[in-house]
Each structure stands twice: as structure tokens, then as C-alpha cells.
Structure 1
């Protein structure tokens, strides 16, 4: 029986309604692993390849065939915004199957949480932090809420399985499983896993299962990348807006092939694919505009774009400057902002506005729109300076290039003009070099940051010790050691080290 025939009727109807003519490789691989084994599963394929549906089509089929007596599947996501976006997608998918979908985070009304506690069922979407809070405040209800939990889906697993947050995610999942007396299968989803084998090992910790990692065929992809370097002070800044453009190259210089599964169009950003290295600005920025910000202002006009900044403060400042340019030019504001410190209403307003295909808007954002939140078709992504990781670069680039268009990112590197008598080190354009190195790492070596948990994560040990005491109450040191040191992230922490921590807690009266 092929994958489609194995799906539940309501899943088949969903596929028909969305006019899917064939199942993708990732969906076929997920169906085989989830239907025909009891293993964990790691799905790694490109952005917008259908990983969420690949995981949930079989999971929902299995839940509909044998309805659980509690929450049947737990979806763990790194961001509230991602959970809200996936909530809408899963609700549509699950509606005809009669499988409820719930959310649990700080923006969800208490009345909705109370309904879940009263009638645990279906799929629960939650962040690691909210799951920790649930273990703390609803400790006694955990067996009833999750006593028949079958699956845990970890979305954007590359983002969660990193440093102490990765350890926290594993800890809360293991604590929940122990309290509920279950051993659910784990499914990890990501477009940018640096070391799939290592990630598979992390997914399997504490489960006694192996992790299936299907090899999804990648047919390669062409990218469009542009990298501009600006000084924010000095002669270049004084002549803002007067960007020098090189002449158009010969037609056979349009693209450069690289020795990697992905090829690269350096600067191929002409909207008609005319082979020009740089297109002329659509309209000039105001006089004396910051050269880098003016460049963004000019090249986002008439297009739907994202501009990624590396901090919330930078995103706020950039948005304010771009809006002031709109005001100076006498045009309507076309810039939105999206980051984690904004209210849910403001974030969702920006997401909804970006989905409107008739409006050419640009959103300045941080990592909150780096992941798979649906905001419609994007034409370009801009990056202020280099992102901190190769993984972030790939995620941000992957937000564009759908519907058969190549992914497109424009880097805008901004640095201070060095003084005439500056030392050699001060004259080196470090941000520009960082951006070049980041791209080369991936194109030449296919390197992405591997998943990595601390070998001796003492800060996490401190946190989990207090969390377990707060949720479970008073216990002896031996009982506490049994609860804590048997969690996977602490497998290399010795009993002597844990004793030192407990003595410290007693001495400081914590």
C-alpha cells in the first residue's frame, strides 16, 4: 500500500483540496518511517518542502485510527509566533478528522487552557518554556493530560537543540514522559541541520529507540546573492544615495558555478533576469540619507521583502529611519516591524499585512521571522551585516525563492570609515569579511553549526534542580539525585559535583 492510500480519508481530502498532484520525497519517507517502524524520525529538507505535513499526515492517521485518551501528540516549537502560524495550518488539516488542536503559551487565554485541562485530547502546541511552566503549575494533572501521549514533534530542531536551551528541551520532555508514564516517539523537523547523525543521537536520548534519518534527494538550487559594503561616516556617507554601479557584464558572465550542490548567482538581482550585476535604484533615497539604509529604501520599493537585523534595537532604529525616509519623500509608510518584544497583536498585524499579495510591504525583523512562519510570497531578503551563524543565513535565505524563483538575499554591510592614520587592523572591513566567510563555509564545505549540548551544563543543572523541587516538593538528596542526574543532559555530571551544588543551595538558602 502506498503512502497516499495509507492516509486517513480526511488527510486524503486535504491533499485533494490543496491540488497536490504528487507527494514529495520527504512525505513518502516520513510515511514509511512512521507507519512501518517504531523508531524516532528526523526530517531534514529544504525550507517549504512540506516537512510539517510530512510528519503530521501519518501521525493524524494513526491517532484517528486509535484515538488516545489524552493529548496524543505534542508539538514543541521555539517561538510563539511559529506556534500561532502552525496552529492555523494544523487546525485546517485536523478539522474534518475531529482532532482538536490546542495552543499553550503566554498569549493564549486562560479559558482555552482550562478547556484543555478539562478535556485533554488531540494535539498540543507549546514552547519549551511553557512546557516547563506546565510541569511546575499543573504537576498533578500531567498523568491525566499526557497519559496516552504517542508522539512529540520538535519543529526547527536545529534551533532548539543548541546549548542550554537544547538541554532544557530534553529535560522537560523526559520529565513529562516520566510523570505521565509514557515513552512517545520523537520527530524532529529542520531545514538546516549541520550534523544529522549527531542530531539523531540527541533525539533518541532517553527513549531506547534509534532515529531514522531518511536521505531526501536534493536536486540543487540556484541562489541570487548581492553584497554591498557602506561606510556610515566619512566621504561615502556624505554622498549618500550616489551609489556607483559597475557596467553590465557580458551575457556569459551572468552566473558562476561552484563546486557544491548549490550554485550561486552573485549579484544577479535584476527583476527581469537580464543578467545585470546591479539594477539601477527604483527611486532615490532622501538627500543625506545613511548610504546603507538608503540602499535598502531604494531596493525594497514595489517589492515584498524582509530585512533581517541582528538585534531588536537595530531593528527598531532601522524601521524608524526607513519610515522617516517615507515621510521625507511624501509617500505612504511601507515598512513594518516584527520581533519578540512586541505584543502578539502587533506581530500578527505585520504577518497578516505581509500575506496581502496586493501590497508591496517590507518588514524589518530579527530571528522571529527567520523560521517557517507563513507571510506569503517574498521577493527579497536583506541582511544587515552578517548573521551570527551559517544556520541563520540559510534559514533567512530560504524565506524567499518559492514558486520556482531562486532564493535571493542582499547583504548590506555597514562599518565606520577608518581614520587616515588608523592601524592595519582598523582598516580591515571585518563585517564584510565575516559575510564572505560565512557564505564560503557553506558553499565550499557544506558546513552548518552542528547540534551541541554542554558536556557539563552546570547552569542548566542548577535550574532543573530548582524546577524539580518546586514542582515535586521536598525530597531527600538521594531522591533528588535520582530525579535529576538520570536526565540525559546530566549523564556526565558526577554525584560529587551534584553534592557540591546541593551544599551551595543550602548555604545560600535557595
Structure 2
């Protein structure tokens, strides 16, 4: 301890007398670990990356040496016109506590600290330009605008220090890639300056350090990495609540099942046992669903997520900080350092999916540098629990995922070329290339790629390019584009949700949710309350609502991809199966195996036993266990499940390869659904598991990238990305009011051989897929490092993924969860809509997006057949001028399906989308008199079960 105190004294001794006096007044006698280790190199002027959890004094770690250097410089040389330090934060509004601390230090040292972001008034901006502060706190996007203002450019010439907060968050985003070039543009103005990064725990701090300091090889030697061990500062407990008699009573009150009631009760038990609790969930949908259950029980819990209005978020933040709320239910909106006061416990509802996410969330508890942060992970089903156990163990060991840096994003290059032209008016293309490639994410950008981007910008009239003289200049569109595209965050239309009674804003809804769901009369949950839609105003982009008390509403389908489970986490789940499986095969009791798991992982016997129940049941089937190095392919009815413990991105990649190649073999469409442990394929009846296993064995690993790119060509994912990228290239001029929707299909063909298409594909590969890792899996299958086995029928493990999607709200009936599952599944299933009148129009849509009365947009006919998503051969049969007997039968069935849709609308589409329900059975179901909608779905379910029992006679 005396050595540590001496090292602490030595750290503070690096600082000037003024700062040391202020430290004493502030009550800081002993530095935190990051301060002790980072202040000496920072005081020397070195670049540094400080990696430490929330609450360890990272802001002061960075700013004390910076403020000290500025104060000493002014004492020696007098005040100067200019900004000496920039503090860049990804948060739009700096947390109020941090701002007050920085302003306090400024007052003590006679330095001015000011803030500039998108909401800063014109008057304040003018004042900052005429009389710049010593330290300016800003966002990456506002820095872009500052680099082009004549007075601000003069002020920025004096920058000696740049601190980038939450650099891990920026490193994995395009706005971070944009910032790295922005810092190189700043270097053109100010010369070399000290770069300091503040980061939560990351798996590759040296790589994040290079991201911060640039592609200059010498920067590696001067960037000090100060990494605080977090494993000793966190404690986790993983538990799946045991269902009690109270939960059975609570289930009736909450209109849900006992399992979900036990989750709600267990979370509230944790809240009751602590003074201030953060409850993290993974999606806004879950936040709203869980929040509505808490509200039903009058629990003193606020709801906080990004779709709520700014006023609503600030209100719950202030009430929680003041102790007026016992807990705050939140999404990733609370991961970054928003100031909500002291937190003494964190609950994570369901697996956090990533080690880094768990550490960041639980790290918010304690909020004192020497205090251990405590977190409870409440899990819901076996996959969820095993995954959470793996993540908790890896978090304690510090096995954190690497930051996924966006290397070479071409739309960022396009955006920054325009920025450089704004900076300089004109400059040589080679100088622009040199500046861009000094930024670490663009170190490998080739000159030919850069030239292609320049030519594209010239074609879109955003810059003038004189290739003969190697010159870039402003054009008539440069200024307009630049200020419309300060951010690399894609523009997505948001609808304001307005309470019609009070006129106040409730929150926002994504455009796709409004298009798919928001009709007058529909019910949804937001801010933990039920709302009925009264009016949708597309011109004003407003959804008007009125509050209701009915608990039977639906949850909004929030837009946003599921947090992907990494490869290493999924592999550890596979390793757990490999440990438990053989024991169950030898007849070991579940209690004994569970006891072994409690010794290895932070959990109790009940939770471990529940997590292992799926594996225990699997052993009874005598089917092989899927593990980290064994893929089990199972086949039943029209479904093949590839059990593969490779995580979301690898499974998504392998799934696309399998669906493409199996589709080519059969000439039919193949449906695809993945989770971290399964690839589920909806296949034609003639395809079995053995054929899918053959594809895994026979596919050349070097062909994966080409197969995937080909499969993406008609995907909505690529179209959506391409529209966003095209906007950043100025090909879609959104500031001129152009609508993306109708243009997207034409865009694909027009842009295929452009940098925009290349970038859209690169971004899909980066965000959603793992081509290299999937290729490696296929290589290991060929070398027999990974075993591939097949089994007939569905297994407990193979079916386990379906149970994880259960919603928190359900009807009151005894079999509510089953009926709700059927409803949810059919709503999410796809159908082919095909016009039998013109025979031209054909669309693939999820059932939930089908209108009540489908009609052909080409010829207005209502004779629309609803077909299975793999029924392309039916469309071919209808269109065939001469038909064989089989095609005649297919055509007849299509007309029967169309007649049903014409008579009964969406109800017929729902019935026809069910498994094994053809036109004749669908007509029978529709014709039956019944009291409520649930009876309709019960009849569908019964027909599906009948089909499953008798399918072998039909195939």
C-alpha cells in the first residue's frame, strides 16, 4: 500500500502547483489506478489510451495533465487566441456532472471551458468563434463543421491536445472512421498534437490505440496503453428464477405465463434489496414490454431508451438521480456515461450477448474506483443461461471482444474528400489521398479506389475534378452536400408520437414500424404505457395516440438488429455441451452435473439444472450432441436444422451459403433463420439432412465470398445499405426531398459497378457476416477437425431456439403462450403474393406486411394467390404456355388460393401461410364459426399438427 501511495504521489507530483492545490481542495489525496499510471506519460506529452471501467476517474486522468499544460503555457507566454484542447465525445449532450467538473477545474485554473454541439445557439457559436475558449467540448460531427469556418480554423490552429472519450464506441462505427480523417485534417491546421483516448474495456487496446493515433508507424512507439484490470472489480450472478406459488398468482395479474411472471418478480426482488438499480435489456421492445409489466404492479421504475423524447429521458434521469425512482429500466442508451448518480446494483435481463457489453453495463454499479461492481443476470431459457454463464466467466478473465474497426469505408472517404475541398477550396488529389490514408482505418486504401471515389463525386457534381492537373475544387453542390452530411449516421425518418389529449410528445417510432403496423385503432406500448393509434399524419410525420388501460395490446416491432453473439462465446456454449452431454449419455443425474457447473460458473444449482434440462432431454433421444467441434444436421418435415455453435455472424454466413447452394440444386427458394447455435432451413420436401451435410463437405471455402455476394444481390439488406451509401455519395440527394423507396430497385442495377455498390457489400460483410471465419469452418470440415453428423427428426437442442422468442404479453387463456407463438410465427413467415390476372406482379412479403385486401399495384386486380415462399415452381407453372399434369395441378391450387384471398383477404393469407394448410383446409378453417381470433389460430395449429402426423403419407 505504501508503494502504491508513493506512486500516487509521484503521479500528482508531475502536475503544477495550481493543479495540486486544487486537488487538495477537491479532496483528491490519492489518485485512482488509471490516474497513477497515466498522468506521468500524459504530462510528458505522450499519446495515450486509457482503458478502464466507468467511475475510475478517466476524465480527470486525461484532463488534469492537459489543463496543467495549458495553464503553465499561459503563465509563461500569456493568453493566446485559440482553442488549446478539444474534448470529443460521442454523446450529443455531455453529461451534466462531467461538464460541471470540467468547468470547476477551469475556474480554479483561470481557463475557459465551453461546449459546442448541434443544439448550440447561433449566438454562442459566434461568441466562440470571436473569443475561443481554452477547452472546447464537442462531438465528432460538430468538429466536421468547425473545420470549415474561417474564424474557427484560426482558433483551431492553436490545438495542442485532443481527448476522445468513449473511443471504443467510435472505433466500431463509421462516425469514428470519419473522426480519424477529421483529426488528420485538424493536423493540417495545427501540426502534431497530443492524442488521448478514454475507453471502456476492449479486447485489442493496441489496435484501438492505432485507431486513435493514426497510421504513422512511429505513433505505435509513443502511444502509452494504460489498461486497468476489470476482472477483480466485478462480481456476477447468473440465475433463472424458480417459479413459486406467488408467480402463478402474479401471472394472472400480469396477463402472462408463470415463467415470465417469475422474471418480473425476481427483478423487482433485486430492486427492493438495493437503493438504486439499473435494469438493462437488449432491445427497446423488451424495455417497453417489461416496463408495462412494472407499471401494472405500480413498481417505482422508470423507462429510458433512445426512442423516448429528450424531455422524457431527462425527466427519468433527474428523478432517478434524486432518489425518486428505485430503478431505471434501460437499453444501451445508458451504457455511455450519462450522469444518473450513484448506482449500487445492475440487473441484466437475459444474456448480454457480448463480454464487453456486460462489463460496460455492470461497471456502472459501484461508481467508486476501489469498489466492486455487482451485477445479476436474469435468464429465460437454456441457451440464454449457458450463454450468460460463458460471458460471465470470460468477463472475469478479461476475455473481451476486439473492436470491429470499419476499415476502408468508401462513403466515409467520399464524405471527407468533400470536407477537404471545403477546408482548402482546392487541393491536389494526391495531397487529399495522403491526408486520408494517414488515418488508421484508411491505411490500405489504394490510389485506384481513391480515384474511383473522386470520379463518382465529380459525376454527382459534389466536387470538380481535373484529372489532368490532379486537382480537386469546389462545385456548386459542395457546400450544400457538406452541411447536409456532417454525420455518417444514416438518415432514417422518425415519426413523432403525440398524446392527442395533452399535445405532449411521447417518443418516436421508426418509419418501418409505422409503415408495417401503425394503423388507426392499433395498440402498442411506449414509455411503459399502452397507447391506441388515432391518426397517422405522413406529411407531418406524426402518430397521434390516446392512452388506454387494456393490457392485451401488442409490442412495437422496433427496428434494429439483434446484438450478435460472438464466435468465441458460442464456442464456449458448445464446449459446455461437450462436458455435460457424455455425462447424461452415461446416465448421470442432472443434479450431479449441475453441481459441477456451479463450481465452474457464477450460478446456483437450480439455474444450472434448468440450463442443462435441454441437454438431459437430448440424451434420451440418443441423437449426437452438437458441440464446439461437432455439427449436427437434423431433418423433419420441410425443415433442416444445422446445429452449429459458431455465433450469429458465422451462422448467418454459412446459412446464406447453404440456402443459395441448396436452392440451386433444387431450383426452389430455401427459407433461412439463424441464431448463434442453429441454422434453420425451410426446404422443399425432396431435400433431406444428408444433402445439406454434403453441401457443407463439398463447398470450396475460397468460394464463400463470391457465393455470399451473389446471394445478396436481391436482398433487402443490400438494397437498404446501398440507399444509405448512395446518399453519402450524393447519388440520392435527400436534402432535395428525394424519396429513396421507389428508387431502390432501379438503384441496384444502376450502381452495380461503382464504389457505392462495393461499399454497400463491404458494410453488409462487416456488420452482418463473417466470411473469413465461415470459410475457416468449411476448411476445418474438410480436414475433419469439425465433425458433421446427421440425425432424423427434431431434437430438444435443435428445437431450442424457437422457445426463446416468447413475448412478455399474452392473452389470458390457459394455452396463451402456445397460441401467441403460432400468431408470432405466422406473422413473421413469408408468403409469395402473385397476381393471376396480369401474371406479372410477384412479391415476397412477411404476412404481417400484407394488406387486409391485397391487390395488384400493376393491374388493380384482387385475384392474388398467397403461396409458400419456396413455391417459385407454382409461379412458373401458372406462366407456362403449355402445362404438364403436375403444372396443371399447381395452377389449379393457385387459383383456389387466389379465390380465397379475393373473398376473405388477409385472413386467407394467414391460413395459407400455415404449414401444411392448403386451399381446401384453409377454406374449411375460415368457414368455421367461432367466438374469437384465438379459436382461428387454434384451428390452424390443429391442422398443422395433423399435417405433421400424416406428412409421410403425402411426401
Aligned to 2:30: 22
Aligned to 2:198: 189
8 Å Cα contact 1:82-1:371 kept in structure 2: no
8 Å Cα contact 1:284-1:298 kept in structure 2: no
Identify which range, 114-123 or 297-306, moves more after superposition: 297-306
8 Å Cα contact 2:232-2:372 kept in structure 1: no
Cα deviation for residue 487 of structure 1 reads 4.0
Aligned to 1:347: 313
Aligned to 2:60: 53
In the alignment, structure 1 residue 440 sits paired with structure 2 residue 440: no
- Residues 411-430 of structure 1 show CA distances to partners (whole Å, capped at 9, x for unaligned) of 23346xxxxxxxxxxxxx43
Cα deviation for residue 215 of structure 1 reads 5.9
Structure 2 CA distance for partners of 1:285 and 1:61, relative to 1, 3 Å: farther
Count of residue pairs the alignment pairs up:
440
Aligned to 1:407: 373
- SS at 1:125 equivalent: strand
8 Å Cα contact 1:76-1:155 kept in structure 2: yes
Identify which range, 208-217 or 361-370, moves more after superposition: 208-217
* Structure 2 CA distance for aligned equivalents of residues 114 and 341 of structure 1: 32
8 Å Cα contact 1:285-1:325 kept in structure 2: no
8 Å Cα contact 2:49-2:196 kept in structure 1: yes
Gaps of 5+ in 2: 1-8, 75-79, 462-729, 731-955
* Structure 2 CA distance for aligned equivalents of residues 242 and 93 of structure 1: 56
8 Å Cα contact 1:3-1:28 kept in structure 2: yes
Cα deviation for residue 60 of structure 1 reads 0.9
Cα deviation for residue 296 of structure 1 reads 2.4
Structure 2 CA distance for partners of 1:215 and 1:319, relative to 1, 3 Å: closer
Aligned to 1:4: 12
TM-score normalised per structure 2 = 0.43
In the alignment, structure 1 residue 334 sits paired with structure 2 residue 297: no
Identify which range, 219-228 or 83-92, moves more after superposition: 219-228
Aligned to 2:133: 121
- Residues 23-54 of structure 1 show CA distances to partners (whole Å, capped at 9, x for unaligned) of 2332232221122x332012223432222112
8 Å Cα contact 1:81-1:373 kept in structure 2: no
- SS at 2:297 equivalent: helix
- What aligned pairs does 1:106-505 form with structure 2 within 5 A after superposition? 106-135=118-147, 138-178=148-188, 180-205=189-214, 209=219, 210-214=222-226, 220-221=232-233, 223-228=235-240, 241-242=247-248, 286=253, 288=255, 290-291=260-261, 292-301=263-272, 303-326=275-298, 334-357=300-323, 359-402=324-367, 406-414=372-380, 429-444=382-397, 446-469=398-421, 472-473=424-425, 477=429, 480-505=432-457
- SS at 2:379 equivalent: strand
Identify which range, 48-57 or 6-15, moves more after superposition: 6-15
Aligned to 1:268: none
Q: Which one scores higher on RCO, CA 8 angstroms, separation ≥ 6?
A: 1
TM-score normalised per structure 1 = 0.76
8 Å Cα contact 1:241-1:288 kept in structure 2: no
- SS at 1:220 equivalent: helix
- Residues 409-458 of structure 1 show CA distances to partners (whole Å, capped at 9, x for unaligned) of 2223346xxxxxxxxxxxxx4333332232233335x2212234233322
8 Å Cα contact 1:151-1:185 kept in structure 2: yes
8 Å Cα contact 2:11-2:37 kept in structure 1: no
- SS at 2:292 equivalent: helix
* Structure 1 CA distance for aligned equivalents of residues 52 and 340 of structure 2: 20
Cα deviation for residue 493 of structure 1 reads 1.4
Structure 2 CA distance for partners of 1:467 and 1:414, relative to 1, 3 Å: farther
Cα deviation for residue 124 of structure 1 reads 1.1
Q: Which residue of the other structure, out of 49, 54, 60, is the alignment partner of 1:42?
A: 49
* Structure 2 CA distance for aligned equivalents of residues 343 and 11 of structure 1: 40
8 Å Cα contact 2:181-2:436 kept in structure 1: no
* Structure 2 CA distance for aligned equivalents of residues 370 and 27 of structure 1: 22
Structure 2 CA distance for partners of 1:363 and 1:30, relative to 1, 3 Å: same
* Structure 1 CA distance for aligned equivalents of residues 152 and 336 of structure 2: 30
Aligned to 2:873: none
8 Å Cα contact 2:356-2:395 kept in structure 1: no
8 Å Cα contact 1:142-1:176 kept in structure 2: no
* Structure 2 CA distance for aligned equivalents of residues 145 and 438 of structure 1: 47
8 Å Cα contact 2:214-2:439 kept in structure 1: no
* Structure 2 CA distance for aligned equivalents of residues 19 and 486 of structure 1: 42
* Structure 2 CA distance for aligned equivalents of residues 342 and 287 of structure 1: 24
Aligned to 1:276: none
- SS at 1:117 equivalent: helix
* Structure 2 CA distance for aligned equivalents of residues 405 and 296 of structure 1: 23
Query: Quick check: which has more Rg, 1 or 2?
Result: 2
- Residues 237-293 of structure 1 show CA distances to partners (whole Å, capped at 9, x for unaligned) of 9x77259xxxxxxxxxxxxxxxxxxxxxxxxxxxxxxxxxxxxxxx99945454233
Aligned to 1:70: 82
Structure 2 CA distance for partners of 1:467 and 1:91, relative to 1, 3 Å: same
Structure 2 CA distance for partners of 1:160 and 1:495, relative to 1, 3 Å: same
8 Å Cα contact 1:83-1:103 kept in structure 2: no
8 Å Cα contact 1:196-1:213 kept in structure 2: yes
- SS at 1:241 equivalent: helix
